[in-house]
Amino acid sequence: MQENLRRESSFGKRVIAIVSQIPYGMVMTYGQIAAIAGNARAARIVGGIAHYGDSKLPWHRVVNRSGGLASGFPGGREYHKKLLMSEQVEFEIDKNGEAVVSLVEHLWIPEK
């Protein structure tokens, strides 16, 4: 019970709560999660929790500001892309030629 709550402070708990509530076929950006959690500048923390404190949260539904997955993901971006494609998430090609999630269609906003 509390063992999975006492790992982080209120910010981390909020991040975990938000990420764990991302519905199927939806994605969120680190910055948005951080902003909702209370610190728009703490986007790194979201990633930090993801890397170290990750438990069972759908981090594959969490993307960076570009709409693509951040670096360091297990399996690489192609695995991530395949994963989201399995959830019927649509991808778009940005100017850099990189596959990014169509945030306009798949960006999920909690409380809404």
Q: Which residues form the interface with DNA (CB under 7 A)?
A: 7-9, 11-12, 29-31, 34, 39-54, 59, 64-66, 70-74
The number of residues making up the chain comes to 112
Nearer to DNA, 74 or 111 (CB): 74
Q: Any idea what DSSP says for residue 68?
A: S
Nearer to DNA, 23 or 76 (CB): 76
Smallest distance, Å, CB 55 to DNA?
9
Give the separation between CA 112 and CA 97, rounded to whole angstroms. 32
Sequence letter at residue 77: R
Question: Measured on CA atoms in the order 100, 90, 86, 13, is the torsion positive or negative?
Answer: positive
Smallest distance, Å, CB 82 to DNA?
15
Which of 57, 25, 37, 55 lies closest to 111, judged by CA? 37
Give the separation between CA 63 and CA 87, rounded to whole angstroms. 14
Nearer to DNA, 26 or 45 (CB): 45
Nearer to DNA, 74 or 97 (CB): 74
Smallest distance, Å, CB 13 to DNA?
8
Smallest distance, Å, CB 97 to DNA?
15
